[in-house]
Amino acid sequence: MIASVIVIGYIFLIFSLVGNTYVVIRLLALKSELLNVRDNKLHAPLHYAAFLGHADIANHLIQHGAGTFCFFFSWICILFDNILLLLLDVNLQARGNWTALHYAARGGHTRIVMSLLNAGAQTTLKVRLC
């Protein structure tokens, strides 16, 4: 069970990375807990979409609760999905404290920056440069 969720989660991350909006929306409709799947550097689908400028995917993830507070492992979100979806946090941090806003701003993706700011992204968070 958990192994299949991990595989589906990585497939979801890959489609977020390459910008396949159709597949991202379809997978999200089937498994809402995929919003918070993380890779080994703690990047979530919203980080990838913001970094690469996939505005349609980023907006869809934001509208559906991307960055929902999720303890330490993505599989915990599966157990508490209904409760955690109420706790939207677009300030979800990857390694080095990078947020989707950092990635979008660095890449010059204005549309995503505006969506993140409208969703409550904090502008005062600092990244660790090491």
Tokens of 71: 């303890």
pLDDT of residue 95 exceeding 70? yes
Please state the domain extents for the chain: 2-118
Mean of pLDDT over the chain: 78
Looking at residue 40, its pLDDT comes to 83
At residue 51's C-alpha, the angle toward residues 92 and 19, to 5°, is: 105
Mean pLDDT of 97-105: 94
Confidence at 130, pLDDT banded by 50, 70, 90? low
Give the pLDDT confidence of 5-49 residue by residue, as tens digits. Answer: 567 777 888 888 888 888 888 888 888 777 778 888 888 889 999
pTM of the model: 0.77
Q: What's the pLDDT score for residue 86?
A: 34
Residue 4, pLDDT score: 60
Distance between CA 51 and CA 92 in Å, rounded? 14
Sign of the Cα torsion 127, 45, 64, 69 reads: negative
Distance in angstroms (rounded) separating the CA atoms of residues 39 and 62: 19
Among 72, 44, 42, 70, which Cα is nearest to 57's?
44
Check: CB of residue 77 under 8 Å from CB of residue 70. yes
For residue 98, is pLDDT > 90? yes
pLDDT of residue 38: 84
Contact 5, 75 (CB under 8 A): yes
The span from the CA of 85 to the CA of 71, in Å, is 13
32 phi, psi to nearest 5 deg: -65, -25
What is 2-118's CATH number?
Answer: 1.25.40.20
